[in-house]
Structure 1
Amino acid sequence: MTITIDQALKWHATYNPRRLAVQDDHKKESYAELWQRSVQLVLAMKAAGVKKNDKISVLLPNCAQFIEIYHAAALYGIAVVPINFRLAPREAQYIIEHSESKLLFYYSDFSDLVKEINIKDTPVAFIKIGPGREDDDEYNDFIGKYDDKGFDGDSDGDRYDVPFYQGYTSGTTGTPKGCVNPLGPFSEQLTRIIGTYRFESSDRQLMPAPLFHEAPALFSLAQIFAGGSLLLTKDPAPENIAEIINKQSPTNIFMVPTMWETLTISPEVDRVKSKTLRLLVSGGSALLTHTRDKLFKAFPDADVNEFYGGTEVGLVSNITKDEMLRNYRSVGRPVFGKYIKIIGEDGEEVTPGEVGEIYMAGQLMLREYYKNPEATAKARLGEWLTLGDLGSIDDDGYLYIVDRKKDMIISGGENIFPAEIENVISKMPEVFMCAVVGQPDPRWGEVVTAYVVPAPGAHISKEEVQRFCAQELANFKIPKEVYFKRELPMSAFGKILRRELRQ
């Protein structure tokens, strides 16, 4: 029997009612309060005409209301559709319309964006949330009319396959696809995270990564599932992170690689008192070697972990600090319940060490891409599923990510993987961030092109980058062109948008 998200909350609210469940930049909520407000939200949505199996969209930064909405959705049997608040109005509108959402919960700071969203075919009720500004908050009025007394939290029937999370891919490879994750598999991922990272009720997790992405949502909800305390912030600036660590004493932190890099190069890292920190987790994209080494130095007593996974599959592999030192550039071995194999271009499984497309099986999360059976079928190979990433496995079962299949550069018949070159360039102390793409070339088909953001105050030339690469890379992998930028196009989850660079 799978214990679901709402059932875990009910247990903690019953037996640990006064324990801190969630704290954001404005308020704190105990487990009893989180349960009460989640129930009130269920009753309010029911009165507003939302039915079981419907979808609701969420346009919020990290806040306690986001956690309430996730638990209310699990209680009622509806799906949450998180929206990246950095999207353009037409992009946000596409997700709301495509998902057929019945409600939109949005943050008052995003009112200008919401004003430009014009839903024509399906009526959508907009509910504004204004933390810290009661006169600008419709959400409290929306749920405040209802009482949680007498509500037992039990829904009708088996809810294992009821859609719970419908996250949209970032669009790095084209039009976003809605990944439908049922409640049962989603809840099972929480127990897998708890087991992998040893979450306990005494833990205090700091979460600056945005909850509209699934990995931060999974890690946050896993901490609640385990009965611990969740410290949310919508401000990932190093100054704020350092202050929260020093004042709130978190035991574990999840951030994406660009957030870790920004923290480790900031002078703020030197004033962090990390006596309580036992676990630092990175995911969402590759953790570059120089960032990893800075984390080891800045937080010597914490275990640094990196995982590989995705919205469709959840947590797939993980590697600890000790394993990182023995297995250079690996993202670890499969976590319990997951299986990995590498398929070559001929459709057959390759031998250890050979590069091919990564396929995963076991307890996955994707039921379907919403209203896109072609994409669903393309991603599956029987019980196996791929995200389109390329990699290899060694004799001990450690997975190495080479790159995304669509990002691979073919120059003069040679396969070139941008991540390998980016890892070399990023070792230069003058480099803050870089990205490598293939640009069309009449002779070679494609040529390697690097985009570099210099470190603050640093000066660097194209020739210096090329000479540095020549020390570690074959000649055909050395960038033919190097462009210097103030910033690179990024998704909200810290992924560089190579597609925009190619364009």
Structure 2
Amino acid sequence: MSMSFNIADMFEMVVDATPDREALICGDYRATFKEFDERSNRLAHYMAGQGIKAGDHVGLFMYNCGEYLEGMMACFKIRAVPINVNYRYVGEELAYIFTNADMVACIHGREFIPAISDIRSDVPDLKTFICLDDDSDFDLGVLGSIDYNAALEGQSAGRGFEERSDDDLFILYTGGTTGYPKGVMWPHKNVFFAAMSGGGAFSGNPCQKPEDIVDRMSDHPMGGIALAPLMHGASWWYSCIMMLAGNKLVLNHHRSLKGEQVWGIVEEEKLNLVQIVGDAMAIPLLESLKENEGRWDLSSVFNIGSGGAVFSEAKQQEFKEAFPNCFITNAFGSSESGQMGADSGDKKDDKAGLGNIVKSEFMDIIITEEDGGYRHAKPGEVGDFSRSGYIPRGYYNDPVKTAKTFVDVDGKTWLLTGDQAKLEDDGASMTIYGRGSNCINSGGEKIFPEEVEQALKAHPEVYDCLVVATPHERWGSQVTAVISTKAGAKPSLENIQEEARKHIAGYKVPRELHIASEIGRLPNGKPDYKWAKDYALSKDGLAS
């Protein structure tokens, strides 16, 4: 059988090269590469026996667990498509993703039986249910689910699957901050090179052919922890990166992120790599270090990396102080784009943007013309941070959004990420600003909330914050900050403005301040701007 840049093909080569290495740890779950592969094979044979075939969509509706990734790999082995389901979805949201994704099967936590039962009639082709036991006692008979381990019993631990393809799909549903989720259709080869560094994450040398994946493995495996839920693309992809490199992957098995628990796992497993999603995770991790100085031996850690959300300079600096021998990485990317590069640390303007990356043949800024056409940006222009080359096919079952996001420029398809960026005067570097859809227009000036948030987090009393637009009689909209503070501090608006002016231009400084006990965020750690705007408009936390 010929090998392809299919994740299952490459993973099986890694397994054969290093069967006895530890592959995956999540709470009480521990498996070597061989054990993980054999369990995934058994699950794959069971699903195939239920009639699940190439191209069929299988929901993964669970909290973090080893079985989540077994389900993913089992799907890949039989060329089925795993679908990540947000475990916070209920009612219409849940019904939408199950129907939009055309699911025929679902591997689910037992506690989700009632939620699935409520929407099952909306999904007539959904017939196979595999249930992972938990502390709940809901009746498996409601859905006709089979217990997960019972499904594995009697199934072959061997392979014997049909030949796979580079073009088999990996679909990632992303909710963003508004609207119903969208299913990003990634061919395996494209997602491998765009989101998983082509197997070169640790060697800096991407694979030229599938068999190279074995040569990219180190004789000295590393251990890393993914802290986001697996339903989040950053964590799902990081898991693949680690396992395809023959490294030890650890998942956070707790259902919320608490610094004390995380650092306890890092110490116990002697982990080298900690993967977070922006400040939403950085903040509690840093706070627990300050409150428990010297409690853990974290000398094994040499990298803390972030991707998928804003990782402010202030929080990066705090990590550098806590881990002076550690390198910090801040990557840009999204569910649609994969990894768009890491901040080079070479800002052209110390008071502008979230970071700077290098322009390339496949990374550029696209300008949308008034007539609806598209062109490449000229030096000094701000437009859509965009990618070509290894990109998704589009959004599943959504041709309208696909047409708006994947556009033709000079005969090549470009993905418009929605993030705004400026091509600097040197024509070779790009400064990233943030989501264009969140941009605040105040008196004709365009202001990106993420940039202001980064400045506010440098204030010693600010714990977390979000920035939104609220109405202003003269300017149309004004910059409004919603913050949570450290140790019950109550900074004044003037005090916040004074600190902000050290980092951003005066017109970007907040004109109104609201203090909340906690900042609202979505389950994946992304900012909940709707919550922040509603809170600001309520005036409940207005500060003078």
Q: TM-score, normalised by structure 2?
A: 0.84
1:117-145, Cα deviation, whole Å (9 max, x unpaired) = 44334242332212699999811111223
Query: Aligned residue for 2:227?
Result: 208
2:131 maps to 1:128: yes
Over the residues paired in the alignment, what is the CA RMSD in angstroms?
A: 2.7
Q: Secondary structure at the match of 2:267?
A: helix
Q: Which amino acid aligns with 2:53?
A: K
The aligned residue for residue 309 of structure 2 is 285
Change (3 A) 1:277 1:337: farther
Q: Is residue 61–residue 85 contact of structure 2 (8 Å, CA) maintained in 1?
A: yes
Could you tell me which runs of 5 or more consecutive residues in structure 2 were left unpaired when the two chains were aligned.
141-145, 204-215, 535-544
Distance, in Å, in 2 between the alignment partners of 1:171 and 1:252 is 26
Query: Displacement, 1:353?
Result: 4.4
Question: Where does residue 271 of structure 1 map in the other structure?
Answer: 295
Q: Which residue of structure 2 aligns with residue 229 of structure 1?
A: 248
* Structure 1 pair 292–191 and aligned structure 2 pair: CA distance change class (3 A): closer
Q: What percent of counterpart residues are identical? A: 25
Instruction: Give the corresponding residue for 2:87.
Output: 85
- Identify the residue that residue 261 of structure 1 maps to in structure 2: 283
Q: What does residue 167 of structure 2 align with?
A: 161
Q: 2:160 aligns with which of 129, 141, 152?
A: 152
Q: CA deviation at 1:309?
A: 1.2
- Secondary structure in structure 1 of the residue aligned to 2:388: strand
In the alignment, the residues of structure 2 paired with residue 501 and residue 133 of structure 1 have an alpha-carbon distance, to the nearest angstrom, of 34
Give the 3-state SS of the residue equivalent to 2:363 in structure 1: strand
Match of residue 19 from structure 1 = 21
Aligned position for 2:7: 5
- Report if the CA contact (8 A) 1:242-1:269 is conserved: no
- SS at the partner of 1:440? strand
Aligned counterparts of 1:74 and 1:172: Cα–Cα separation in 2: 29
Q: Mapping of 1:156-195 within 5 angstroms?
A: 156=163, 159-163=165-169, 165-189=170-194, 192=197, 194-195=199-200
Q: Aligned partners of 1:131, 1:88: CA distance in 2, in Å? A: 19
Q: Determine helix, strand or coil for the equivalent of 1:119.
A: helix
Are the aligned partners of 2:366 and 2:416 in contact in 1 as well (CA < 8 Å)?
Answer: no
Q: For the residues of structure 2 that align with 1:115 and 1:460, how far apart are their CA atoms? A: 49
Deviates more, 1:226-235 or 1:136-145: 136-145
Matched residue SS, 2:122 = coil
Equivalent position SS for 2:496: helix
Equivalent residue in structure 2 for 1:67, among 66, 69, 88 = 69
Question: How far is 1:181 from its partner?
Answer: 1.2
Give the Å deviation of 1:456: 2.9
Q: Deviation per CA, 1:20-63, whole angstroms, max 9, x where unpaired?
A: 11111112111111111111111111122212101011111221
1:482 matched residue in structure 2: 513
Whether 2:473 is the aligned partner of 1:438: answer no
Q: Would you say 1:390 and 2:420 are equivalent positions?
A: yes
Q: In 2, Cα distance between the equivalents of 1:129 and 1:220?
A: 20
CA distance in 2, matches of 1:355, 1:252: 35
Change (3 A) 1:268 1:76: farther
Letter in 1 for 2:82: V
Q: Does 1:48 align with 2:50?
A: yes
With structure 1 as the length reference, what TM-score do the two structures score?
0.90
CA distance in 2, matches of 1:252, 1:397: 31
The one-letter amino acid of 2:436's match is K
Match for 1:409: what amino acid? I
Instruction: Work out the CA distance in 2 between the residues paired with 1:304 and 1:335.
Output: 22
SS at match of 1:362: coil
> Structure 1's 325 and 399: CA in aligned 2 closer, same or farther, altered over 3 A?
closer
Q: Which residue of 2 aligns with 1:380?
A: 406
Closer/same/farther in 2, CA of residues 441 and 331 from structure 1, 3 Å limit: closer
Counterpart CA distance in 2 for 1:277 and 1:22 is 18
Aligned CA distance change for structure 1 residues 269 and 204 (closer, same or farther; 3 Å): farther
Distance, in Å, in 2 between the alignment partners of 1:19 and 1:8 is 16
- Indicate the SS of the match to 2:228: coil
Per-residue CA deviation, residues 359-403 of structure 1 (Å, 9 max, x unaligned), is: 211222x11211111111111222211121101244374432212
Q: Partners in 2 of 1:224 and 1:76 — Cα distance?
A: 19
Gaps of 5+ in 1: none
Question: How many Å separate the matches in 2 of 1:419 and 1:238?
Answer: 24
Distance across 1 between alignment mates of 2:457 and 2:91: 34
**Of 530, 535, 541, the match for 1:499:** 530
Indicate yes or no: 2:414 matched with 1:414.
no
In the TM superposition, what is the alpha-carbon distance from 1:332 to its structure 2 partner?
4.8
Return the match for 2:319 from 275, 286, 295: 295
* Pair 1:318 & 2:342 matched: yes
Question: Residue 39 of structure 2 corresponds to which residue in structure 1?
Answer: 37
Shift in alpha-carbon separation, 1:194–1:276, aligned structure 2, 3 A:
farther
Cα deviation, 1:166-198, whole Å, max 9, x if unaligned, reads: 222224132221111122222334651642443
Closer, same or farther in 2 for the Cα pair 1:279/1:379, shift >3 Å? same
- Give secondary structure in 2 for the equivalent of 1:175: coil
Match of 1:450 in 2: 481
Letter matched to residue 491 of structure 1: L
2:367 pairs with one of 328, 339, 343: 343
State the alpha-carbon separation in 2 of the partners of residues 83 and 169 from structure 1: 9
Q: Which amino acid aligns with 1:238?
A: G
Instruction: Sort the Cα spacing of 1:437 and 1:27 in 2 relative to 1 into closer, same or farther, 3 A.
Output: same
- Give the whole-Å Cα distance in 2 for the aligned partners of 1:37 and 1:245: 26
- The code of the aligned residue for 2:416 comes to T
The CA distance in 2 between the partners of 1:27 and 1:132, in whole Å, is 16
**Distance apart, 1:147 and its partner CA:** 1.4
CA shift in 2, pair 1:356/1:76, >3 Å: same
How many angstroms does 1:288 deviate by? Answer: 0.8
Following TM superposition, by how much is the alpha carbon of 1:75 offset from its aligned partner in structure 2, in angstroms?
Answer: 0.8
2:487 aligned counterpart, secondary structure: coil
Give the secondary-structure state (helix, strand or coil) at the position aligned to 1:209.
coil
Separation (CA, whole Å) in 2 of partners of 1:496 and 1:434: 9
> After the TM superposition, which of the residue ranges 233-242 and 50-59 deviates more from structure 2?
233-242
Q: Is the 8 A contact 2:93 2:180 kept in 1?
A: no
Change (3 A) 1:45 1:351: same
The whole-number CA distance in structure 1 between the counterparts of 2:347 and 2:443 is 35
